[in-house]
Amino acid sequence: MPAESGSATFYNYKLLRRIAIPKALIGGLSTLPFIWLLAEIVFISWTSIFTFLLALFIVLWIQFVITRSVLIIISHSYKKRWHFKMRLPWIGYLPEQFVSYSSFRRTQHYATWIGGCIIAILIPWSPVSFIMALLFWHFWFMAPRLIILLRFRKQPRDGIIKLTPQDASYYMP
């Protein structure tokens, strides 16, 4: 059998930038919720424990619905590439494989802004501890993603990214 077949497809990606995720950042991210919860318990009420946990699941659900809705609108082949991850710093509905930078950027911007607007709409009807917990979880989940977007902003727009627990990589096809 010849080494190169006429029907074979070869993918060559050129790495343009890799951003390593330091273990200190992951350690800091993992302790921040406990510090925030302790502050809510001390300054608001001990019942903040319940609103803090409820807000965690609500924010994950809101971000999932927004991200999935944007993906349905902009892409038809997202089902195999996007999965729910539960490993720091990437928690939430994120790409599992290579994904275009433009679709990742678009989904994260919509999740950030629409999620923030939904939380703002809930302000008049929700207790302070619940709103504070919603805001905390929303920014806690979005911060690593937005930092990556900021660090990749000078790269060409038609690249692809890959998120791993150790780093975020930007490639050109």
Separation between Cα atoms, residue 65 and residue 67, nearest integer Å: 6
Contact indicator for 141, 3 with CB cutoff of 8 Å: no
Is pLDDT above 90 for 79? no
**What is the SS3 assignment for 82?**
strand
Q: Strand pairing partners for 91?
A: 86
**What is the SS3 assignment for 78?**
coil
Note the pLDDT tens digit of each residue in 88-129.
888 999 998 888 898 899 999 999 999 999 999 999 999 999
- 12-16, 64-68, 82-86, 133-137: which range is least confident on average? 12-16
Question: In 21-165, where does DSSP find H-type helix?
Answer: 23-43, 48-74, 101-122, 128-151
Separation between Cα atoms, residue 132 and residue 56, nearest integer Å: 11
pTM of this prediction? 0.86
Note the pLDDT tens digit of each residue in 92-103.
999 988 888 988
Q: How many residues does the chain have?
A: 173
β pairing state of 160-163 and 99-100: antiparallel
**Phi, psi at 160, each rounded to 5°:** -130, 155
Contact indicator for 128, 141 with CB cutoff of 8 Å: no
When the pLDDT of each residue in the chain is averaged and rounded to a whole number, the result is: 88
Burial of 67 (0-12, 13-18, 19+ CB in 10 A): buried
